[in-house]
Amino acid sequence: MILKNSETFSFVYVVFLCIAFSLTSCGSDSDSGVLGNEKTGTGSVAILLTDYPSDDFSKINVTVTKIELLSDESRVSVFSGNKIFNLLDLKNETTLLSVKNNVPAIQFNKIRLTVIQVELIDKNGQPSTKPVTLPGNGKIDLNPRKPFSVRPDEMLTLQLDLDAEKSLKLDENKNRYIFRPVVFIDIIGGVPLEKFLRVKGIVHDIDFTKMKFGLCPDMNDIDSYTGASHDENNNSCCVTVYVSDETSIFGSEEGGRQVPFGYLAEGSSVSVMGFYKTNASINDGSKSCNMGLDAVVVQTGDFLKLTGTIGSEVNPGTNQFDFQVDQDQAVGSENPVTVEILEGTKIFSTLGIALDETAIRVNTKAEIDGKIILNPDPNVPDILKATFISVDTDALTADKLSGVIDNINDSERSFDLLITDKTVCVEVADNVHIFFITEDGTLVSRMIPFEELDKGHVADIYGSSKSASECFAADTIIVFEAK
């Protein structure tokens, strides 16, 4: 992940349960806690969730029931509910999991995520025959390298970047997967994100003069961004969406076509794709979070999001192309579907870079938002009216090796990895993340320097064999205590 400036503090990958840089306990299960001195004031906290791609599954459904911020004295819940996320829906974008006001303006040192279930769906759309085991009691403690603070009347944004590919370890002896989340934590100080941020909710407080509106949580929508209702106590709050002349607004009831800003109505359900607004102190009103979103696309009503592979280039006469939808998705149409690029359709890369129609290339993976228009004539194809196209220009390239560490060379930062049928040289650059995992009743992980690697440890090595030397170039190393 590329971070855009020094205001974003990059922390480390952390792996499942009681994750610490020294061995500590998980603490009590009580929800009570000191909420801080009243003189400290309160701020707002937003929790974002995104993911790296996976080649093994079409869906990784994770059920989250609680997110808490923990300090030595305090414990504050910023989300409580029951939400299911398909992590692979997030490989090209970020979702707003929760946003909350009235969080004590104090220092915290840990994020606790409670997960109760993980479901795997294979490439054929079928549940995996291998179950997923959650070690311990499902509590995942995410420990940044240093504490973070909520400041009075400001927004703190925490992005959890979960690497699904590295989070599932296959236990071949028991024919199951063990879920050990590998998470990268970004503490965002009012800077734009690389990926698009997608937020769903209900439209409130439209200001047609200033071209903005409030996007508030929808209690009736499981995909809405918070499990708490929008209340007068302002504990849950609304994101301020800013619209410009470059924003495309589409109406489902209008056949998926582009509509003017004046088409939006109070109380309507919308989905917004855009970028985190750089101004961290908006304070538009008592119900507003200190969080803004510069909208690129606004969809009002029901639209689909489909993943698949581009099957043809764009026909310049019809502005249409073929799209082979992934097997696990039912679209009510023949496959491939015909996609039409509309006036206002936005095309972007997975890194948030604006593209044009020349990026629609055969055999390229993509995600497409749109409205399917069914044609009663069987000789005329159904059309997917596209509103937003995300083209995968960042293919998955990491390879994985597993084996036993031997012949460590500290000066060269290299070692041999003993695999069943061969020995592979591994080189480790200075910026490679190394995690050491131990298990003694609970699972504990800490980041270690290269010098703490020992002969005999079992390791999973992620990286590439396409290095200048003959060695395998590591980018992430997960070491397990020898048994």
Nearest to residue 243, comparing CAs of 265, 260, 256, 226?
A: 260
Instruction: Give me 12's structure tokens.
Output: 């480390």
Q: Are 425 and 472 in contact (CB under 8 A)?
A: yes
- Average pLDDT, stretch 360-371? 90
Half-sphere exposure of residue 299: CA atoms within 13 angstroms, side-chain side: 25
Residue 361 has pLDDT above 50, yes or no: yes
Cα separation, 265 vs 300, whole angstroms: 9
- Residue 93 identity (one-letter amino acid): E
Spatial CB neighbours of 143, under 8 Å, sequence gap ≥ 6: 14, 19, 20, 21, 109, 110
Neighbours of 457 (CB within 10 A): 18
Identical topology for domains 304-391 and 399-480: yes
DSSP state of 314: P
Half-sphere exposure of residue 331: CA atoms within 13 angstroms, side-chain side: 31
The residue behind tokens 């603070």 is 149
Question: Which range has the top average pLDDT, 232-236, 347-351, 413-417?
Answer: 413-417
Please state which of the four CATH numbers 3.40.50.300, 3.90.550.10, 1.10.275.10, 2.40.50.140 is assigned to the domain occupying 304-391. Answer: 2.40.50.140
- Residue 122 identity (one-letter amino acid): D
Instruction: Give me 459's structure tokens.
Output: 């390791």
| pLDDT for the residue 145 | 67
Cα separation, 147 vs 307, whole angstroms: 38
Mean pLDDT over the full length of the chain:
76
Query: How far, CA to CA in Å, does 413 sit from each of 207, 354, 416, 430, 450?
Result: 59, 40, 11, 8, 7
Q: What is the pLDDT of residues 410-448, one digit of tens each?
A: 999 999 999 988 899 999 998 887 877 766 544 556 678
Q: What is the pLDDT of residues 77-113, one digit of tens each?
A: 888 878 777 776 666 667 777 777 788 888 898 888 8
Q: What is the pLDDT of residues 273-330, one digit of tens each?
A: 988 775 444 455 445 666 788 999 999 998 988 888 999 999 999 999 999 988 766 6
Cα separation, 156 vs 408, whole angstroms: 42
Question: Which range has the top average pLDDT, 1-10, 147-156, 205-214?
Answer: 205-214
CATH number of the domain located at residue range(s) 197-300 in this protein: 2.40.50.320
> Who wins on pLDDT, 194 or 466?
466
> Who wins on pLDDT, 52 or 336?
336
Instruction: Give me 428's structure tokens.
Output: 């480790």
Instruction: Give me 424's structure tokens.
Output: 């592979």
CATH number of the domain located at residue range(s) 399-480 in this protein: 2.40.50.140
| pLDDT for the residue 389 | 94
CA angle 57, 90, 284 (to 5 degrees): 165
| pLDDT for the residue 216 | 85
Burial (CB count within 10 angstroms: exposed 0-12, middle 13-18, buried 19+), residue 124: exposed
Cα separation, 220 vs 169, whole angstroms: 35
Instruction: Give me 296's structure tokens.
Output: 């690129």
Give me the residue spans of the domains in the chain: 9-191, 197-300, 304-391, 399-480
Cα separation, 435 vs 85, whole angstroms: 26
463: left (phi over 0), alpha (psi -120 to 50) or beta: left
DSSP 277-312: -S-S----STTEEEEEEEEEEEEES--EEEEEEE-S
Q: Are 274 and 293 in contact (CB under 8 A)?
A: yes
Q: Are 117 and 98 in contact (CB under 8 A)?
A: no
